[in-house]
Amino acid sequence: MKITFPYWGNYTVAFELLAKKLNLEVVPPEKTTPRTIEKGVKIAPEMYCFPLKVNLGNFLEAIEKGADTIVMPTALGGSCRLRYYAFVQDKVLKENGKNVNFVIFDQSLDIFSKLKKISGASFFKMIEATIFTLKALNIIEKLEKKAQYLRPREIEKGDTDRVLISAFRRMREIEKFSELLKFEKEIMKELNQIKIKRKKVPRVGILGEIYTVCDHVVNFEIEKKLGNLGVEVHREMSLLYHLKKKIFFKDFFIQRKIKPYLGSTVGGHGRDAIYEMLKYVKKGFDGVIQLLPSFCMPETSVRPILEKIHQETGIPFLSLSLDEQVAEAGIDTRIEAFVDVVKNYYQKKQKT
């Protein structure tokens, strides 16, 4: 098998490391580009979710390089159409002459049996690879959070991102757990050496659908842009956060917190969006941005609730729907205007 999978921001590095740990032959997905999206949109069902279209473009490019097996994660329940992605993508690709196999990971308990089937690895090898990958994910998220703090404060603009780009390039070559730990110390040391102005800056929380929130290409590098405009970004939604939520049944506690606004689930990360916005308000943030794919039912359903919280509290709020029709220039204009509102809100708070 020649394995490929969807491109998903910096997490792609961890997925590559997992595949290599299992001795799989990998055709890594290329970084998503406008051309990638164009290819996916051309063959995708018109009214389907934007992430599905982007993933199709990733798969087409990998297939051109020899990939014959696609590993696709899905969801077990709820109202998110992610649980149908693999089946729709399989059908669409075959209709367009791309005869590939799909290996579907649906968060059920047979994940290890599927990994064994495609890799032939022993149970202990799979455990080792899993621990290695979880640590890699932890490092990726730690670096992203550090960058969110540094960008609005760095004296020389671009220093943080130069270190990150180099870090993720080096990370792809790591093979041993000891090397991973050494790498973490070295990169954190490099980031800590970046010269910054130790000052308070406005804080903006980002929430929404997990793919558009975490993939810096699909969301037009919104975290980087906000940082360069002098705003510190916080993002609770991440892959590890999502996994911990499943393990510790956090959805039960989230539902209790948001009950005055929503009495039941709407699927996807709808409940998380309400919970996170209430949390950002409580912590005194200066703005909130919701990111969602166009036609995303869960996020669209909770948007009026987020608007209500905005009206009740006065915290600046911006909702950005993303699809193939959205131009980066339009997003930049809206972000810049929003940052002006955030800074005015922040300055008024400082005076009171």
- Same domain, yes or no: 97 and 130: no
Of 21, 17, 19, the closest CA to residue 2 belongs to 19
Same domain, 162 and 85: no
Question: Could you identify the residue written with the tokens 């209790």?
Answer: 256
Same domain, 205 and 352: yes
Residue in the structure block whose two tokens are 């290695």: 132
Instruction: List, in order, residues 6 or more apart from 63 with CB less than 8 Å away.
Output: 4, 93, 98, 100
Which amino acid is residue 204, in one-letter code? V
Look up the CATH number of the domain holding residue 61: 3.40.50
Give CA–CA dist 348/217, Å, rounded. Answer: 34
Tokens 């308000």 -> residue? 281
Please tell me whether residues 249 and 337 are part of one structural domain.
yes
At which of 198, 229, 256 does a domain end?
Answer: 198
Sort strands 2-4 and 69-73 into parallel, antiparallel or unpaired.
parallel
Instruction: Report the pLDDT value the prediction gives residue 55, as an integer from 0 to 100.
Output: 95
Percentage of the chain surpassing pLDDT 70?
Answer: 97
Write out the H or E segment, with its range, that includes residue 206.
strand 203-208
Regarding whether 192 and 207 lie in a shared domain, the answer is: no
Residues 305 and 270 in one domain: yes
Domain limit, last residue, from 119, 140, 164: 119
For residues 266 and 277, the model is more confident at 277
Alpha-carbon distance of 96 to 118, in angstroms, equals 25
- Six-digit token string for 143: 């670096």
53/68 same-domain check: yes
Q: What CATH number corresponds to the domain at position 216?
A: 3.40.50.11900
Distance, in Å, from the CA atom of 175 to the CA atom of 239, rounded to the nearest integer, reads 22
Per-residue pLDDT band for 64 (boundaries 50, 70, 90) equals: very high
Q: How far is CA 304 from each of CA 86, 272, 308, 332, rounded to the nearest angstrom? A: 30, 14, 6, 24
The tally of domains found in the chain comes to: 3
| Pair 322, 292: CB distance under 8 Å | yes
What is the reported pLDDT for 115? 79
Same domain, 136 and 105: no
Mean pLDDT of the region 206-222:
95
Among 119, 137, 167, give the residue marking a domain's end: 119
Structure tokens at 16: 């590559």
The mean predicted confidence, pLDDT, of the chain is 92
Q: Is the pLDDT score of 107 beyond 80?
A: no
Shared domain for 335 and 222, answered yes or no, is yes
65 and 92 together in one domain: yes
Same domain, 206 and 335: yes
Per-residue pLDDT, 109: 55
Tens digit of each residue's pLDDT (9 = 90 or more) over 147-178: 999 999 999 999 999 999 999 999 999 999 99
Residues 108 and 160 in one domain: no
- The closest of 83, 134, 150, 72 to 105, measured between CA atoms, is 72
Domain range for 95 is 2-119
Question: What is the end-to-end Cα distance of the chain in Å, rounded?
Answer: 63
Among residues 152, 146, 148, the alpha carbon closest in space to that of 198 is found at 152
Six token digits for residue 67:
């990939």
Can you give the pTM of this predicted structure?
Answer: 0.93
